């Protein structure tokens, strides 16, 4: 059961009490809500301020990750086989060009960028430095 639904049920119950109860007792639910606002009002207001505040770090990250123009001295290593994008299994030597039906992944636990085919990604000896 989510807290959201409990809060909605409680609000509806307070609304029901305000409508149904006689005049002096109608103020009891309102006083309890006022008590909550007095104690937690600054926390609630802080949450609304956080929502409206722009994400400065996100904007900086987006600006840094935008594609930039290549330098004039850019050389491609794709033909030589040294490219980061050319995927080749470090265990069996299968490459993505030879076996397009296989999926290749990089291991996050191995030091360096070692690529593995779907057969060896879960069962290989991790490379150390």
* Rg of the chain over all Cα atoms, to the nearest angstrom: 30
Structure tokens at 100: 């397009």
Q: Is residue 99 pLDDT above 70, yes or no?
A: yes
CA distance 53 to 59: 12
Which 8-state DSSP code applies to residue 88? B
pLDDT digits (tens, 9 = 90+) for 54-96: 556 666 666 666 665 555 444 444 444 444 467 888 888 888 8
Backbone angles phi, psi at 74, to 5 degrees: -70, 130
Kindly state the average pLDDT of the residues 101-122.
82
C-alpha 29/C-alpha 47 separation (Å) is 24
The DSSP output letter for 26 is: G
Contact 105, 115 (CB under 8 A): yes
Tokens coding 103: 């999926």
* pLDDT interval class at 13 (50, 70, 90): very high
Which pLDDT tens digit goes with each residue over 18-43?
A: 899 998 888 888 888 888 888 888 88
Distance CA 13, CA 28 (A): 12
> Could you say which DSSP state residue 118 is in?
T
């Amino acid at each position: 059961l989510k807290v959201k639904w409990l809060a909605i049920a409680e609000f509806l119950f307070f609304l029901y009490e305000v409508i149904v109860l006689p005049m002096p007792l109608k103020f009891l639910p309102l006083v309890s809500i006022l008590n909550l606002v007095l104690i937690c009002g600054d926390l609630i207001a802080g949450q609304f301020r956080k929502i409206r505040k722009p994400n400065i770090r996100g904007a900086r990250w987006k600006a840094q990750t935008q594609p930039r123009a290549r330098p004039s001295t850019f050389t491609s290593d794709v033909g030589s086989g040294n490219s980061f994008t050319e995927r080749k299994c470090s265990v069996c030597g299968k490459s993505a060009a030879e076996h397009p039906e296989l999926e290749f992944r990089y291991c996050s636990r191995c030091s360096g960028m070692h690529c593995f085919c779907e057969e060896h990604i879960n069962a290989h000896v991790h490379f150390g430095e």
